[in-house]
């Protein structure tokens, strides 16, 4: 069984509307910028992928905005757009008990926790907000979406670091296949641009450095890459059983065909150099989708811009696809690494690539590393693609691969080239 993708919502360093983000990606524009004065990460990060401001009152009643972390606000904004895109109203189009919510995150409300910790250290226990926990816990993005829309089915919050957004989508497909829901609102959200996280990644020597022009700093698979750029954002999809989407006359943007997940069991932060775990994840996704490697026309790579990570993923891709070399690009060249939101945002980009027949390029890929021998997309490539694979890999060795395909005759497919 496949799942119909009927709604998409994005908040990224390239903008907060789906069409806007994809146009920026296909034009090769970068969303990386210097961190401005007044931002919590100013002085701690030289540059980052900063998403648009979301005021709490845009997504919540004014009385409920106290101490709500930014990652929750980003998730709510993306969910609002995804549900509007799907044209879905809870209670009218789906029973409240038959809609599930799964929103992943890497760190949850770490910025809010840090702010409240400072208040405690400076002024003692009375200074800590009583709204701290409902404002920052990792499950609160999923919980807030459910509360706002009256969704009373299953809900959860995967926290598998940089694979969390992709795992949430995979869990959505599992729920639909198991008959436990008719609709799943799923994706990921992250906002970790604050001093402690910035200091940790800087001290680990994981971040790109030495680039006077911030827009050149994130360069997956490029020979001169020297680390990743931190970013923030959210991506939310609405998945439905194909029969449910058809019954309500929903527009089907794509189908989620399958997923695969494995664990490296190798190292807390480093992937297996041979990419064996990543390769196993992609093979599992192909089995789940009932496809052969030759059916995949495009891969949205995890591609963070680290030496070891990009090389390991390239080895995995070549092991899986062999002589059939699908087109490969990394969205992170334009957005930076969105951590727990990355898998969801990049899944949406994969859907858009299928829908438009346009494959976005890897920004700043000027000289591909010989250790990453792939069919790199360096300029937008207009070509029809039957199926696309999206990879997400994480600290702890978590590997997630998702496969999307063009919509079948179930529901009302998008017309070629149509985008909203």
398 is an active site residue: no
- The C-alpha atoms of residue 127 and residue 255 are separated, in whole angstroms, by 49
CA distance 39 to 189: 19
Q: What are phi and psi of 61, to 5 degrees?
A: -60, 145
Contact 141, 189 (CB under 8 A): yes
Q: Coil, helix or strand for 358?
A: strand
Distance from C-alpha of 286 to C-alpha of 202, rounded to nearest angstrom: 37
Catalytic-role residue among 194, 244, 337, 376: 337
Give the residue carrying structure tokens 């089995």: 287
Query: Angle at Cα 13 formed by Cα 112 and Cα 103, nearest 5°?
Result: 55
Q: Are 313 and 80 in contact (CB under 8 A)?
A: no
Does 162 qualify as catalytic in the annotation?
yes
Token pair for residue 352?
Answer: 């858009």
Residue from 199, 189, 231 nearest 333 by CA: 231
C-alpha torsion angle, residues 307, 312, 315, 316 (rounded to 10): -150
- Catalytic residue, chosen from 244, 302, 376, 398, is 302
- Detail the DSSP E strand segments found in 265-310: 296-300
**Partner residues linked to 64 by β-bridges:** none
* Residue of 269, 266, 237 whose CA lies nearest to 254: 237
Residue 282: CB partners within 8 Å, gap ≥ 6? Answer: 260, 316, 317, 320, 389, 391, 401
Contact present, 48 and 337 (Cβ < 8 Å): no
Q: Looking at 162, 194, 244, 414, which residue is catalytic? A: 162
Rounded CA-CA distance 235/390 in Å is 14
Residue written as token pair 């899944």: 347
Let me know: does 323 contact 230? Beta carbons within 8 Å. no
At which residue do the structure tokens 């680390």 appear? 227
DSSP 213: S
Q: Is 42 a catalytic residue?
A: no
Q: What angle do CA 182, 87, 415 make, to 5 degrees?
A: 100
User: Which residue numbers are catalytic?
Assistant: 162, 302, 337
């Amino acid at each position: 069984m496949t799942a119909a993708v009927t709604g998409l919502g994005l908040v990224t360093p390239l903008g907060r509307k789906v069409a806007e983000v994809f146009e920026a990606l296909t034009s090769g524009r970068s969303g990386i910028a210097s961190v401005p004065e007044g931002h919590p990460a100013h002085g701690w990060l030289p540059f980052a992928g900063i998403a648009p401001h979301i005021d709490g009152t845009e997504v919540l009643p004014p009385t409920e905005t106290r101490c709500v972390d930014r990652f929750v606000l980003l998730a709510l904004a993306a969910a609002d757009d995804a549900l509007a895109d799907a044209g879905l109203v809870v209670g009218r189009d789906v029973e409240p008990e038959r809609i599930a919510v799964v929103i992943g995150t890497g760190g949850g409300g770490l910025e809010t926790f840090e702010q409240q910790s400072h208040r405690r250290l400076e002024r003692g226990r009375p200074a800590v907000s009583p709204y701290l926990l409902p404002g920052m816990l990792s499950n609160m993005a999923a919980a807030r979406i459910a509360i706002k829309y009256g969704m009373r089915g299953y809900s959860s919050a995967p926290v598998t670091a940089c694979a969390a957004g992709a795992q949430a989508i995979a869990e959505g497909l599992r729920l639909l296949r198991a008959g436990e829901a008719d609709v799943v609102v799923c994706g990921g959200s992250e906002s970790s641009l604050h001093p402690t996280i910035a200091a940790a990644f800087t001290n680990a020597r994981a971040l790109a450095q030495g680039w006077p022009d911030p827009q050149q700093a994130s360069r997956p698979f490029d020979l001169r890459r020297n680390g990743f750029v931190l970013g923030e954002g959210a991506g939310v999809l609405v998945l439905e059983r194909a029969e449910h989407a058809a019954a309500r006359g929903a527009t089907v943007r794509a189908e989620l065909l399958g997923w695969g997940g494995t664990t490296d069991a190798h190292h807390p932060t480093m992937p297996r150099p041979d990419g064996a775990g990543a390769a196993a994840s992609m093979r599992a996704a192909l089995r789940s989708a009932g496809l052969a490697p030759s059916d995949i026309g495009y891969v949205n790579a995890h591609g963070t811009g680290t030496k070891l990570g990009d090389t390991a993923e390239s080895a995995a891709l070549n092991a899986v696809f062999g002589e059939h070399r699908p087109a490969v690009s990394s969205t992170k060249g334009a957005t930076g690494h969105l951590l727990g939101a990355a898998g969801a945002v990049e899944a949406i980009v994969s859907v858009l690539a299928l829908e438009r027949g346009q494959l976005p390029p890897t920004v700043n890929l000027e000289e591909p590393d010989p250790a990453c021998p792939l069919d790199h997309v360096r300029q937008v490539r207009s070509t029809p693609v039957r199926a696309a694979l999206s990879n997400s890999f994480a600290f702890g060795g978590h590997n997630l691969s998702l496969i999307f395909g063009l919509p079948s005759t179930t529901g009302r497919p998008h017309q070629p080239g149509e985008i909203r």
